[in-house]
C-alpha cells in the first residue's frame, strides 16, 4: 500500500470541502508530494498547489493559490490557513472583484502590493522620480521588484522581509552598490540622487558615508566601466578559488598554484583586458561585455587536474597540456591573442 503524503491529505481535504461549498468543476491531481486542486467556473478558475513544511518554526500546510480569468493569471498568494484558502477560492469563483479580495486577504499578491505602496511613497518624498521610468515588474517564480530607471542609471528594489528593502543601484545594468533600507524619505533621496540626479559615486560617498563602494564605482566614474568590471571579476575568481570546497581537501596545493598563476597574470595587466570566470577548477577568460558566455564567444580555458598533475590551456582552435601549473610562453601568446579581440 502506497504511503499517503501530507500533501495528498491536504489536497483531498481541500477538494472534499470545496465540493460541498461550490457549484463548480473541481478536480484533484497529483502523486507523491505534488498535489493540486483545480476549480473551474465559466469565467473564473483557480489552481491550488498543496505543500507541507517541517521547519523548526513551522510544521504544517501551505496553499499556493493562483487565480485566473478566462485563462489569464490575475493574482497569486500563499496561505497556511485551509479556511482562508477555501474562503478566497469561493469568493473568486462566485465573482468577487480582485479589489475586494485584496481587502479581505492580505496574503494575495502581498509582495506586489507592498512594492506598489513603496512606489507611491518614494514618488511622494522625491517628486523628481516622476521624471524617470518606474514600474513594479514581475520576475521569475512570481516574484516582483520595483524598478526606477533613466537612461543608463537604474535602481531595482526587492522586498527583504521585516519591512526592509533590498536596493540594487546600477549603471549600464551593472551593480555599483547595494544597500538595505526601509521605505523612507532617506531611500527616496538615495534613489532620486542616483537615478534622476545622476550623482557620481564620489558625491554619494560624501553625502552618504555609510554606503560601501567597490572598484567598479571608481572606474565607472572615470568613464572606464568595462575595465572596472574586468578587474572586479578577477577579484571574485581569486576569492572563489580560496573558498572552493577542494581547497581544504586533497587538491588544495593545486588551488594554491592556480591562485599564484592568477596573481602572475594580473601582474602582467590581463585583469584590465579580460573578464575572468570559473567552472569548478577551470579558469575561463574572455572579452565578454557581460557575465555569461555565449557559445560563439572567444575564450581561453585554464584547467588543473590532480593525478597526474597537469594544466590544460585551450581555446576553440588550440589545446595544450603541461606538467606544471605555471605561466609559460604558450599561455602568454594565447592570452595576448585573446586580449586583441574586440569586446563582445
Provide the residue-wise pLDDT of the chain in tens; the chain has 344 residues: 468 899 999 999 999 999 999 999 999 999 999 999 999 999 899 999 999 999 999 999 999 999 999 999 999 999 999 999 999 999 999 999 999 999 999 999 999 999 999 999 999 999 999 999 999 999 988 899 999 999 999 999 999 877 899 999 999 999 999 999 999 999 999 999 999 999 999 999 999 999 999 999 999 999 999 999 999 999 988 766 555 555 455 556 777 788 889 999 999 999 999 999 987 778 999 999 998 899 999 999 998 887 677 899 999 999 999 999 899 999 999 999 999 999 99
Measure the CA angle with vertex 289, ends 286 and 290; round to 5°: 95
Are residues 330 and 231 part of one domain? yes
Are residues 293 and 188 part of one domain? no
Confidence (pLDDT) at 305: 81
Cα torsion for 137, 140, 144, 147, to the nearest 10°? -50
Helices (H), 225-277: 225-243, 252-267
Distance (Å, rounded) from C-alpha 163 to C-alpha 183?
8
Distance (Å, rounded) from C-alpha 339 to C-alpha 344?
12
Among 221, 247, 277, the domain boundary falls at: 221
Among 108, 123, 143, the domain boundary falls at: 108
Residue 1 included in any domain: no
Residue 263 included in any domain: yes
Residue 77 included in any domain: yes
Among 93, 108, 123, the domain boundary falls at: 108
Are residues 204 and 236 part of one domain? no
Are residues 206 and 235 part of one domain? no
What are the DSSP calls for 175-243, one per residue?
Answer: EEEEEEEESSHHHHHHHIIIIIS---HHHHHHH-TT----HHHHHHHTT-HHHHHHHHHHHHHHHHHHH
Place of cell 558566455: 293
C-alpha cell at 68: 485566473
Number of structural domains in the chain: 3
Place of cell 498547489: 49
Domain, as residue range, for 296: 225-339
Amino acid at each position: 500500500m502506497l504511503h499517503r503524503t501530507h500533501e495528498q491529505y491536504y489536497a483531498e481535504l481541500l477538494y472534499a470541502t470545496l465540493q460541498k461549498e461550490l457549484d463548480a468543476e473541481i478536480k484533484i491531481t497529483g502523486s507523491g508530494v505534488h498535489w493540486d486542486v483545480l476549480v473551474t467556473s465559466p469565467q473564473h478558475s483557480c489552481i491550488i498547489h498543496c505543500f507541507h513544511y517541517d521547519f523548526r518554526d513551522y510544521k504544517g500546510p501551505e496553499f499556493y493559490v493562483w487565480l485566473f480569468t478566462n485563462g489569464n493569471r490575475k493574482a497569486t498568494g500563499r496561505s497556511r490557513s485551509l479556511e482562508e484558502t477555501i474562503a478566497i477560492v469561493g469568493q473568486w469563483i462566485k465573482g468577487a472583484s480582485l479589489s475586494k479580495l485584496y481587502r479581505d486577504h492580505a496574503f494575495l499578491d502581498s509582495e506586489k502590493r507592498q512594492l506598489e505602496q513603496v512606489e507611491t511613497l518614494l514618488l511622494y518624498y522625491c517628486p523628481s522620480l516622476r521624471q524617470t521610468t518606474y514600474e513594479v515588474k514581475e520576475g521569475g517564480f512570481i516574484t516582483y521588484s520595483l524598478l526606477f530607471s533613466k537612461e543608463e542609471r537604474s535602481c531595482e528594489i526587492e522586498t527583504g522581509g521585516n519591512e526592509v528593502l533590498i536596493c540594487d543601484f546600477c549603471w549600464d545594468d551593472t551593480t555599483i552598490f547595494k544597500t538595505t533600507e526601509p521605505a523612507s524619505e532617506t531611500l527616496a533621496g538615495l534613489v532620486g540622487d542616483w537615478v534622476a540626479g545622476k550623482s557620481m559615486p564620489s558625491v554619494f560617498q560624501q553625502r552618504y558615508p555609510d554606503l560601501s563602494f567597490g572598484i567598479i564605482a571608481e572606474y565607472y566614474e572615470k568613464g572606464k566601466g568595462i575595465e572596472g568590471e574586468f578587474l572586479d571579476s578577477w577579484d571574485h575568481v581569486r576569492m572563489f578559488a580560496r573558498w572552493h570546497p577542494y581547497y581544504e581537501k586533497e587538491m588544495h596545493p593545486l588551488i594554491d598554484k592556480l591562485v599564484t598563476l592568477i596573481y602572475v597574470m594580473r601582474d602582467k595587466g590581463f585583469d584590465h583586458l579580460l573578464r575572468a570566470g570559473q567552472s569548478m577548477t577551470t579558469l575561463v577568460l574572455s572579452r565578454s561585455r557581460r557575465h555569461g558566455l555565449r557559445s560563439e564567444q572567444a575564450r581561453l580555458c585554464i584547467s588543473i587536474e590532480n593525478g597526474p598533475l597537469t594544466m590544460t590551456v585551450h581555446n576553440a582552435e588550440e589545446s595544450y597540456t603541461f606538467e606544471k601549473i605555471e605561466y609559460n610562453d604558450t599561455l602568454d601568446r594565447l592570452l595576448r591573442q585573446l586580449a586583441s579581440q574586440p569586446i563582445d
